Each structure stands twice: as structure tokens, then as C-alpha cells.
A = this chain, B = another copy of it.
Amino acid sequence: MKLIGKALIAQGGGPTAVINQSMAGIVAEARKHGEITTIYGALRGVEGIINEDFIDLTQETSFNLDQVAQTPSSALFSTRVKPDANYCKEIFKVLKAHDIRYFFYIGGNDSADTVHIVSEQAKLDHYEFRAIHVPKTIDNDLVVNDHTPGYGSAARFVAQAFAGVNLDMRALSGVYIGIVMGRNAGFLTAAAAAAQTFPEDGPHLIYLPERPFIIEDFIADVKKVYDQHGRCVVAVSEGIKDAAGTPIILSLLTDVEKDSHGNITMSGTGALGDLLTQTVRTALKISRVRSDTFGYIQRCFLGCVSPTDQQEAREVGEKAVQFALANNCNGSVTIHRAGDYTVEYQMTPLVELAGKTKYMPDEFINPAGNHVTAAFKNYLRPLLGTNLPTVAHLRAPKVPKILNNK
């Protein structure tokens, strides 16, 4: 029996460069199916639901929808609120009042958890209802998925930034430390490796939350690279931890800020980068030591998008609607790699993803724990898209010295 009613779309968690492609994919696909009578968008995720802050996406032009799809960040705004049982009861009053029968929530593992709680509550309420989680996160930390929409574009930003910084340090020498997002998963930081074209190119060192960060080893690593190349470019994850598993950044922050999911706020401060530069400067007496914290620029930069990521983000939106109608069950749309390189989409039970975190597997991290492997580079390459800008060096021969004063 067909389930007829309205659809509701919401976006949760941190924004990405392609999250609106998924939203536009849902809207475009939903318009093709008679079961979905109207398509609402909730403003600010689950907050927008209990407040009945809806907009009628059926009354959006196709042209503008496509323009919004190409605009980074969450066009429906976002939230960090995690609903509990009471919050869910409020949600259902609203859903019932508006006859909403399809709920599409675009977000990460916390959002998958939210969809799971909402769908469980629907069963308790005997409310006929489809709840679909649509994947999104620059952290690439969703289990089951080969990778997640948003990651490829953020990874591309990180790769392009490190390619530029490597050239900068090549011109003026010194040590450079770039702090990259990703929380407890190292995927985004690891993407810096795609900046390497020539054999001596940085990042020469990559530190991930999946391996303990030992300051003495870090100093020794930097010294070795600097002595060899006259420069050292380092990618460091914001989530690096000491041997006891405590995030390094925790020791630097006076006020620890957490969201409703219990996540520590790691971005929005240069403290970790400043600590590491100071440590290198003191230990190695190198004068030119610089650090940048990539922060919020990396996840929504206008005009740095992986075409592959863009296309897949669109498709997971379309598949969410198709699965909801064809399979008649709740779940998460998951991405699976097939061959080298295509993808397949599946519907996976929410409980398999909700609240879980995927980490960099061992085969993606080198034995020394300070860089990635060829297996990771091979994994990453297709996600960045095919039109990456390239880097060239001069290859002109040296001129023989005449005076030889030196």
C-alpha cells in the first residue's frame, strides 16, 4: 500500500560544500512521485520541526534550486540539538499535525542517531512514517560507507592548500604546520597527501588522531626532514591525542566547549598550531616556523568543489526518495565503492550507523605513524575529482659558476 503524505527535509550538523546538492536531489526526485503531496523544508534541523519553522520547497523555482545546490553550507540552516524522548514527542505532534509521512535528514553520525531515535518513536506512536538518513560529513567518519558526501570537496581544499603552502615553503624555506579538521578521524588531514607531485614535495609529515602523538618523535621527525630538504611541511589533525588518549588541544583550552552530542569544540582557535610552532622553534632553533589552522574556511569555501563529490551528493538525495518509496522502510543511504572507480548506493539499517565513528584503517597509515600509504592515496584520488589543478617546477639546467666565491 502506498504511503501518501508530505515530505520533510532537514539538514543537521556542520555544513559542507555539497550538502545542498543532496537537498536539491531530494526535492527534484520527490516532485516526480505522486505519493509525496508537498515537500517542506525545516529551518534549523530538528529545532525547525518543533517550532513548525517550515518552508514550502514545492514553491521553489528549478533554476534557484540548482543555484542553491551549487552553493556551499546548509541552505535550510542547521542545528547541534540532539533530541531526547520528550523532544521526539513534540516532533511527532508537529509531524502528525502537518501530515508529514516522509522525513529526510541530511547529516553525519549524530544526525543518523537523531533519525534513528525519531523512527523508533514513530513505531511507538504507531505513526506510519518513513525516516531516511542522507549521509554528509567532511570528516568521512560514517561507518558502512566507503566515503561520505562533503569529504571529497573538503579533501580537495586541503590538498590544494597544502600544494600552495608547499610551494611557498619551497620558495622561502622553513617549517610549516597546518592544522586540519576531522575530530577523531584522520581522513581529512590525510588528504593533504594529495598535494605531493614531485618526490620532495610536502606534506612531509602527517599526524592523525588514530596514532598517539608523541612530542619527542614529532620533533625528531621534523628535524630529519628539515635537515634533508631545508623545509618541512606538516599536516596535523585537530584531534591528535597523547599516549593516554587525551586530545592535545584539551590541555590548551581554558574553557572546554561541548555540543549537545558531547563533542568537544576543536576548531575556531589557533592554540594547537601555536603550541606546536613554539615547540619546534624552541627545540630546533629554526627561526621560520609558521602555523595555520584551516578552521572554518576548509568546509564551505566557495568555489572549491570536487565534481565527483557534487554528483554523489546529488545522487544520495535522489536515492533517498527512491529507497523510501520502493523499499518502504527506514534507513540510511550508504555509498559503496565498486571497481576503480564507480559507486553503488544501498539502504542500510540506521542502527548500523547511528552514533558510530569510522577511523582510518591501519593499511592507510604508514608503519611510523607519521604519513599515509599508497593504499590511502589510491583510495582518495577519485574522490577529489578529475580536474585538479597541477603544479610544475622549473627544470632549466644550472649555469657553471665563474667566480666561485663560495
Chain A interface residues (CB < 8 Å from chain B): 11, 14-15, 17, 40-41, 50-61, 64, 67-68, 70-80, 90, 93-94, 97-98, 160-161, 163-165, 167-168, 170-172, 176, 178, 195, 257, 267-271, 273-274, 277, 287, 289-297, 299-304, 388-399, 401-406
Contact = CB atoms under 8 A, between A and B. Distances in A.
Nearest to A68: B392
Contact of A52 (B15, B97, B292, B402): B402
Contact of A397 (B53, B56, B304): B56
Assembly stoichiometry (copies): 2
B303 A396 contact: no
A94 B396 CA distance: 20
A73 B15 contact: no
Contacts of A399: 40, 52, 54-56, 98
Quick one: which of A70, A90, A164, A300 has the most chain B CB within 10 A?
A164
A59 B290 contact: no
Given A52-B404, A94-B402, 7 more contacts: A50-B406, A55-B397, A57-B396, A164-B297, A269-B274, A292-B295, A292-B296
A178 B295 CA distance: 10
B171 A15 contact: yes
Nearest to A173: B77
Contact of A287 (B74, B77, B257): B257
B97 A402 contact: yes
A172 B60 contact: no
A277 B254 CA distance: 13
A394 B73 contact: no
Given A163-B302, A168-B15, A395 B60 contact: yes
A77 B389 contact: no
B296 A268 contact: no
Contacts of A58: 396
A292 B274 contact: no
A293 B296 contact: no
A268 B292 contact: yes
A30 to B, nearest CB: 13
B60 A396 contact: yes
Contact of A300 (B57, B164, B299): B164
Nearest to A406: B51
Contacts of A76: 394
15 contacts: A41-B396, A52-B402, A68-B392, A71-B390, A78-B171, A90-B405, A98-B399, A160-B302, A160-B303, A161-B301, A164-B297, A268-B290, A269-B273, A269-B291, A292-B296
A96 to B, nearest CB: 10
Contacts of A72: 164, 167-168
Given A72-B164, A295-B292, A57 B269 contact: no
Contacts of A294: 292, 297
Nearest to A292: B295
